[in-house]
Amino acid sequence: MTSSDGERRATLDILEGVRVLDLGMVWAGSICGQVLSDFGADVVKVESRSNLDIARRGRPIIGTEYDPNQNPLFHNTARNKRSLALNLKTEEGRDVLRRIVPHADILIENWRPGALPRLGFGYEDLRTLRPDIIMISQTLAGQDGIDARLRAYGPTVGGITGLDSLVGYQGEAPLGMGHAYADPNVGLHSALLALSALERRRLTGEGAYIDVSMWEAMVAALATPLLDCELNGRVAGPLGDDAIPGAPAGVFACAGDDHWLVLEVHDDADWAGIVEAMERPDWASDERFASAEGRLAAREELNEHVRAWTATRDRDELAELLQGHGVIASPCLAVSERLFDDHLLAREGFTWVENPVLGREPVYGQAIRLSETPGYVREPAPMLGQHSAEVLRELLDMSDEEIEALDEAGVLR
Amino acid sequence: MTEARAALEPTFAGPLSHLRILEIAEQAPGPFAGRLLHDLGAAVTKVERPGSGDSSRQLGPFRDDEPDPEASGLFSYFNRGKRSVTLDWAHADGRALLGRLLEESDVLIVDERFGASHDELLALCEEHAGGERALSVVSITPFGLTGPRAHWRGSPATISAYGGLTLYFGEEDRAPIPPPQDLALTQGGLAVAIATLLTVLGRGGQPGRGQVADISIADVLSSVHTGLAATHWVFDSRQFQRHGRRSQGGLYPNAMLRCKDGFFRIHAMSQKEWRGLLEMMGSPAWGDDPEYQDRIVNGDRYADLLDTYIESYLLQHTKNELFEQTRERQLPFSPVRQMHEVLEEEQLLHLGLFRELAHPNGEQFTAAGSPFRWRNAEDDAPPETDPTGAALLRAPRLGEHNAEVYGGLLGLGAAEIERLRGDDVI
C-alpha cells in the first residue's frame, strides 16, 4: 500500500505478537489502539451496531444516509485495526468475547464506569480468563465519587478543566478551545501506560489494571496557569497574542486570505536579526529599542511597525527570511497547506490509503519516528465487521457454519 | 545494592523502576517526559549546564513573583523526583563523563539545546551498543532533526501555528489566537515518553543495539491533534475554521454559551443528548418545530439563532445549577471553570489529584499528581492514589547529586571532582 512497504517489513515490528482488544470509543478511546497498531500490534476493534461508536457516526460524505464507514475521524484513528462486530447485548456475543480474551494481551476501554463489569468483563473477570492481561480503563474521572459517572466529550472537558477560560482575546470574555484537546491528550497517556504495563509484564510476567482519567490528565497538562493560581492566587484569563512573550511579538496579518505569521523577538541577537530582515528601517535605531527591557516597554509600538511590514508581504517568504536571520517565526498553517507542506511531507506527515468506500484519502502519519523499527500506516480503517469471520476463524477455530449461525442470530453486528 | 549503584537507582518502586533515564532537556517537553517516566518508577537524572541549569529554573511562576531559581513552580512541577547533576557536554572532560553516565543508562532524552544531528545521535547509540542497557536516544525538537525546516527555531506559539492548531482559535474575521503555551509542549513530552518505552520494548530484553527516536512537536500536533482535518478537507473543501465559541466539527449544538455567572459548554453528539437538552430546558415549543429537527441543518443554517434560544434558558441559571441539572440527566455538558475553581473541584479533590509538593528549597505548595491509578495483578486492591504514594518527591537543586553520582557511581576522587568543578566542567 505504501511504496516502501516491502522494505519496512524487513525489520521486526516492536509490538509484533501483541494483541489488543480495543473497546475504545469516540476520539479519546481510539488513540491508544492507534499508536499500538502503528508499531505492529494486532488491534482488534470490538464494536457493534447496537452500541455504535460515535466516531463512526456523523455527516456522510457520499450520499445523504448515515453510514458507519464514512467518518474521517474513524479513518484516521482506526487505520491498521481489524473490526470484529460483536453484539455484547446478546449472551452469545458475550460468550464469544469470553473465548477471545485468553488470546489478548491488552484490553482498552472507555465505557462508563461499571458498564463492562456488568457485562462480565471487569478486570476481575478478565484475569480469570487471562491471568496476565493488561486492562486500561480510560475514564472521565476515575471509578467513584460524585462525578465519576458524569458524561463528557473532549470539548466539555475543555470546560470543566478551565482550559476554555484561557482562550480568547485579551480583555474580552473567553471564547474557549473549540478543539477536543483533552481527547488526544488522554489517548497518548493511555498508550504510555499500556506500553509501561507491557514492559513490566515482560520482566515479571504479571498483568495490571490501570484507570486513567481524562479530566485529571487535562488538568495536569495545564501547568503554568494552575501553578500561578496556586502560588499567587492569580486567575488567568484570555490573553490573545499578548501571551506570546517578547517584543515585537504576536500574530501578524500578511498578504493573502487568512494568512498569518507568528513571530517573537527575545534577546538582542533576535532584535538584530529582525532589523536586518526589515532592511534596517530608520525607526529601529531608536535608543529605546536597544535593550530587551526597552523593547518590552514599547511592545505595541514595535508591533505596529511589524504589522505595517508584514501586511503586504508573503507569509511563507517572511517566515523563511526571519528564520534565516535567526528569528523565531512560523506561518499559521491551514489543513490544506499542511497536507502539501514540503517539511511535513519529508517527515511522512500523511499517508494516502485506499478506503473501500471513499477511495483514496490521506490519514495522518506516526509522529514518533524511530530509526530502526518505525511505526507506520499499513491498512485503511476497517469497514464495520470487516474482519469478524477472519478473527473468529483465526482465534477460535470457528467453522464457517458456526460463524454463519452467529451472524444469523444477530450476534455479529 | 552497593552505595555506588544506588546513585542511579529509582526513588520509589514502580512498574519502570528498572529503567534509568538521562535527561538533557529544558523547560517543558523533555522534562515533562522525564516526569511521566518518574511517575512510573524510572530513575531519571537531569544533566544540567553548570551555573544556571535548566532555564525553567528562572521562569517561574514564583510565589509573590519573587524570582528564586530553587523555587520555580514550573521547574518544581516538571522535575519532581529527579536527580540533578551538572555537566558541560561541550567540554571534552564533560563529554567523557557523559559517556560514562550513558554506559549506565537505558535512554537519553535530549532537546535542541544538546545540538546533535540525527547521525551523531545514531553514532552515540552505536558507541553504547551491546552492553547491558543498549542505549537509545529520544530527541525532541520543535521541527525534528530532518526535513527542510529542521533547522528552524521554535517556541510554543510558533510550533502550535505550524502544527495547525492556532488557525482554529478565535473569531472568523479576526486574528487567530495562540493556544495556551503548555499545551503543545506537554503533547511533545507525551510522545517522548511513549518513544522511550517503544525503544526499551524494541530491545526485546536482549542486549543489542538501541535506536534514535526523532520527535518533532509540530509533527505531534499535526498528526494526533489536527491530522484528521486533512481527511475532512479532501472530501469537503471547507476548511476547519475559527468559529468563536463553537467547537470544530460535531453536530449542533456544540458551543460555549453564556449563563447567569459565566459560560456553560453544550456539546450534544447524539440525538438523545439533544432531546435531553430540550427536556432540561422544559421542552420549549421551538424544539418541536419541524424546521429544527435535522441537527446538520441546524448547524449549517440556524446555529446562531438556536444559540440565542438556548442562552435565554442558560442565562436564568448559574453554572453550578446547570451542572446539577446535567448531572441528574446524565448529559455531557459542563460549566466553564476558572483556575481557582479547578483547584476546588469536588471530584478532583475526591480523586486526590492535588498533592503537597516541595520546591527544591523546601517550601511547600500544591500541585497536580498523576492522572492514573495503577494496580498490579498481584496486589489485592488498587492504590488509593497514584503509585508515587501520598507525598510527591521534590525536584532537585542544581547539581544536588554531583557527589553521589560522580563520587559514588563513577568512583571519582574528591580531588578530581574539585578539579572538574574548578574547570567549570561540573
For residue A248, whether the previous peptide bond is cis, meaning omega lies within 30 degrees of 0, is: yes
Residue A210: phi, psi to the nearest 5? -130, 130
Determine contact: A342 vs chain B, CB below 8 A: yes
User: Choosing among A263, A371, A373, A376, which should be mutated to test the B contact, i.e. which has the most B CBs within 10 A?
Assistant: A371
CA of B380, closest CA in chain A: separation in Å? 11
Residues in chain A: 413
Alpha carbon distances (Å) from B43 to A207, B293, B378: 22, 57, 23
Please tell me whether residue B235 adopts helix, strand or coil conformation.
helix
Element (H, E) at B156: helix B156-162
Measure CB to CB from residue A14 to each of B28, B201, B371 and give the nearest one. B201
Distance, CA of B81 to CA of B36 (rounded, Å): 10
Choosing from A67, A105, A183, A270, the catalytic residue is A183
**Grid coordinates representing B8?**
542511579
B232/A335 touch (CB, cutoff 8 Å), yes or no:
yes
Q: Give me the pLDDT at residue B4, please.
A: 44
> For every one of its 426 residues, what pLDDT tens digit does chain B have, with 9 covering 90 and above?
344 445 667 777 789 999 999 999 999 999 999 999 999 999 999 999 999 999 999 998 999 999 999 999 999 999 999 999 999 999 999 999 999 999 999 999 999 999 999 999 999 999 998 777 889 999 999 999 999 999 999 999 999 999 999 998 999 999 999 999 889 999 999 999 999 999 999 886 455 678 999 999 999 999 999 999 999 899 886 667 888 998 876 688 999 999 999 999 999 988 899 999 999 999 999 999 999 998 888 988 999 999 999 999 999 999 999 999 999 999 999 999 999 999 999 999 999 999 999 999 999 999 999 999 999 988 876 554 455 455 688 999 999 999 999 998 888 999 999 999 998 888
> For every one of its 413 residues, what pLDDT tens digit does chain A have, with 9 covering 90 and above?
343 443 444 457 899 999 999 999 999 999 999 999 999 999 999 999 999 998 998 778 888 888 999 999 999 999 999 999 999 999 999 999 999 999 999 999 999 999 999 999 999 999 999 999 999 999 999 999 999 989 888 899 999 999 999 999 999 999 998 889 999 999 999 999 999 999 999 999 999 999 999 999 999 999 999 999 999 999 999 999 999 999 999 999 999 999 999 999 999 999 999 999 999 999 999 999 999 999 999 999 999 999 999 999 999 999 999 999 999 999 999 999 999 999 999 999 999 999 999 999 999 999 999 999 999 999 999 999 999 999 999 999 999 999 999 999 999 99
Measure CB to CB from residue B215 to each of A329, A363, A367 and give the nearest one. A367
Residues in chain B: 426
List the 384-413 stretch of B: residues with Cβ below 8 A of A: none
Provide the CB-side half-sphere exposure for A339 (13 A, CA). 17
CA of B281, closest CA in chain A: separation in Å? 18
Pairing of strands B212-216, B136-141: parallel
Q: Give me the pLDDT at residue B207, please.
A: 53
Note the Cα B19 to chain centre separation in Å: 20
Distance, CA of A258 to CA of A373 (rounded, Å): 40
Q: Which of B193, B152, B344 is nearest to A326 (CA)?
A: B152
CA of A282, closest CA in chain B: separation in Å? 27
Q: Give me the pLDDT at residue B3, please.
A: 44
Determine contact: A20 vs chain B, CB below 8 A: no
**Cβ-contact B360, B352 below 8 angstroms:** no
A226/B342 touch (CB, cutoff 8 Å), yes or no:
yes
**Cβ-contact A150, A141 below 8 angstroms:** yes
Q: Give me the pLDDT at residue B215, please.
A: 98
Residues in contact with A169: Cβ distance below 8 Å, sequence separation at least 6, in sequence order: A175, A238, A240, B170, B171, B174, B177
**Cβ-contact B53, B385 below 8 angstroms:** no
Distance, CA of B215 to CA of B20 (rounded, Å): 20
Determine contact: B181 vs chain A, CB below 8 A: yes
**Cβ-contact B264, B322 below 8 angstroms:** yes
**Cβ-contact B209, B131 below 8 angstroms:** no
Q: Which of A25, A30, A366 is nearest to A187 (CA)?
A: A30
Q: Give me the pLDDT at residue B295, please.
A: 86
Measure CB to CB from residue B176 to each of A220, A260, A368 and give the nearest one. A260
Whether residue A183 lies in the annotated active site: yes
Residues of chain B positioned with their CB less than 8 A from the CB of A168: 177
Residues of chain B positioned with their CB less than 8 A from the CB of A367: 191, 215-216, 219-220, 222-224
Amino acid present at A193: L
List the 221-280 stretch of B: residues with Cβ below 8 A of A: 222-237, 239-240, 243-251, 254, 256, 263-265, 267, 269-270
CA of A5, closest CA in chain B: separation in Å? 20
Determine contact: A377 vs chain B, CB below 8 A: no
Q: Which residue of A has its CA nearest to B205?
A: A202
Measure CB to CB from residue A362 to each of B182, B201, B234 and give the nearest one. B234
Q: Which residue of B has its CA nearest to A147?
A: B347
A217/B218 touch (CB, cutoff 8 Å), yes or no:
no
Residues in contact with B173: Cβ distance below 8 Å, sequence separation at least 6, in sequence order: none
Element (H, E) at B368: strand B364-368
Residues of chain B positioned with their CB less than 8 A from the CB of A11: none
CA of B110, closest CA in chain A: separation in Å? 15
Distance, CA of B265 to CA of B259 (rounded, Å): 10
Q: Which residue of A has its CA nearest to B191?
A: A368
Determine contact: B186 vs chain A, CB below 8 A: yes
Q: How many CB pairs under 8 A join A and B?
A: 491
Q: Give me the pLDDT at residue A6, please.
A: 39
A326/B153 touch (CB, cutoff 8 Å), yes or no:
yes
CA of A57, closest CA in chain B: separation in Å? 9
Distance, CA of A92 to CA of A403 (rounded, Å): 12
**Cβ-contact B260, A161 below 8 angstroms:** no
Helical residues (DSSP H) of B330-387, grouped into ranges: 339-342, 346-351
Average pLDDT, chain A: 94
Determine contact: A45 vs chain B, CB below 8 A: no
Note the Cα A46 to chain centre separation in Å: 20
**Cβ-contact A97, A46 below 8 angstroms:** yes
B201/A15 touch (CB, cutoff 8 Å), yes or no:
yes
